[in-house]
Amino acid sequence: MAKIIFWEKPGCKGNSRQKEILLASGHDLEVRNLLAEGWSREELAQFFGQRPVAEWFNPTNPRVKSGELIPAETCPEDALEMMVAEPLLIVRPLMQVGEQRLAGFDVQQVHNWVGLALDSVGERDPKNCPCVTSTN
């Protein structure tokens, strides 16, 4: 199984569920605080690959939910600049195995990447954090 560096927002229920799934699947986690990391635009860009910019953003962030910020209308350079300044905008979790990186927790994508014990996923969709507070 893989050793995964897992950047989370401490206290996020969605990230807690995602960690449970990874651990139940036999992976080792090195958990880090997404908000305390000194991100650069170049580092963040490596997690998103060729995915559309809209998928880079945390959909539960109050600015995204309110429509103040429209990810689909944001260019990559501006998105990265905003995320460096305000890490709560970044989709969670960010994960790294070796040199490979991934943002977000789409079950099938994570399963294809590192393998999951799919019976550990259960009914709740671990993709998005269920939190709705202003601290997302």
Query: Catalytic amino acids?
Result: 12
3-state SS string for 114-129: HCCCHHHCCCCCCCCC
Contact 72, 52 (CB under 8 A): yes
Strands (E), 13-61: 28-33
Give 48's strand partners: none
Contacts of 20 (CB under 8 A, 6+ apart): 120
